[in-house]
Structure 1
């Protein structure tokens, strides 16, 4: 049995990942406001509480951590100093710091047990290409997630602890639909050579492969799912 903790499992990419992992031999614990274990990552105590609750449900062992939870809220520079900094810090805590805390707990868990494990972090194309003028914080949080993933891969490969990241571009979730319409829709699609945004199931298939099947020598890999809108 492979025990998996998936954050942000209630909707969009997270729900698609949960669906593709709904198969024999997998015990999945999800996190989210609509399903799974509730935890507000804006609260510094939430990651540890989620971790402990997930371990309790999974009988004390975890094999795979998938960090998918995140926010994408605009933060225009015209806001007051206090408003802008508050939104920056909220986004960093939810998108990056909470994921880092869970990664740390996972690494310590596997080291204590003397076994390997896998981390899959859902980052973003924005980590490499940047994002809109109102989303500095989002891009920075996802770039941090990529750097963290590579650091974990390099630091703990000898322990059998593998780390991967996925960098989607626009994905047809409710959040992406709203953003596409607010940014001109067709004009934004013109920047994607494939001619469409990704389906959540496409990102989920990559996450499932990394969580269950990717060879160990792939550790540290960052896989793009963006319709060739950003290539590197």
Structure 2
């Protein structure tokens, strides 16, 4: 028996580098995936690749009502969700010398997608898991930025990811007896399109030089850890944040 046989995993931002790696890994390990993304064509292509083990949903996570509906639609597909992977994220710049309205609009969008949407999905997951016979698992993508801080144009991202960590710890402490376990993953630089601006302006090697390994993480490095957590084998590690940054920031 594969480790994830029979498990239903909802992955947000599934068309991206980390999300697609998670989806492929879960399916290879026997699970079924519900693939969310705002890009309908990209997520459909991934589902076609994965075959009958994958279904797709689209929603704009900047909109609270659409996010809430995403959970309801996903739950209706199989009648249960065993694992929620809050992976979707955005990384828009907010230069400190921008006009206040422009600066705040980036903060509002970033917090909506990077913090409030995961919170809404966690809220719905906690309620659902309390009624499921095996409970359920929440895996939230945070960031090294939650602990180390981030570059000058990305205060909002660090703040949102710090909120994700605090939320995950709170869920683990307060909802464990309702069958909920919760984990956060805090990657450093991962070789995905989210880091395209840095890669093109500074270079991937600059990020690699900050690590103890001399290389940056690939999406599969994150997917391997998420797939393991999805098995339920790390139950007593609930509340943990797992750093995946090649020792570029050790705490």
In the alignment, structure 1 residue 47 sits paired with structure 2 residue 67: yes
- What CA deviation, in whole Å up to 9, does each residue of 1:82-114 have, x standing for no partner? 111111010000011000000000000122345
| Rounded Cα–Cα distance in structure 2 between residues aligned with 1:31 and 1:53 | 11
**TM-score of the superposed pair, with normalisation by structure 2:** 0.88
- What CA deviation, in whole Å up to 9, does each residue of 1:117-143 have, x standing for no partner? 100001110010010000000010101
Preserved CA contact (<8 Å) 2:64 2:120: no
**TM-score of the superposed pair, with normalisation by structure 1:** 0.95
Find the counterpart in structure 2 of residue 153 from structure 1: 172
Equivalent of 1:67 in 86, 97, 100 = 86
**Structure 2: segments with no counterpart, 5+ residues:** 1-5, 44-55
Find the counterpart in structure 2 of residue 172 from structure 1: 191
Preserved CA contact (<8 Å) 1:115 1:159: no
- Tell me, what secondary structure is at the counterpart of 2:27? coil
**Residue correspondences, number:** 231
More helix as a share of residues: 2
| Rounded Cα–Cα distance in structure 1 between residues aligned with 2:127 and 2:92 | 32
Cα shift at 1:163: 0.2
Find the counterpart in structure 2 of residue 221 from structure 1: 240
Preserved CA contact (<8 Å) 2:139 2:185: yes
Deviates more, 1:36-45 or 1:139-148: 36-45
Find the counterpart in structure 1 of residue 19 from structure 2: 14
RMSD: 1.4
**Structure 1: segments with no counterpart, 5+ residues:** none
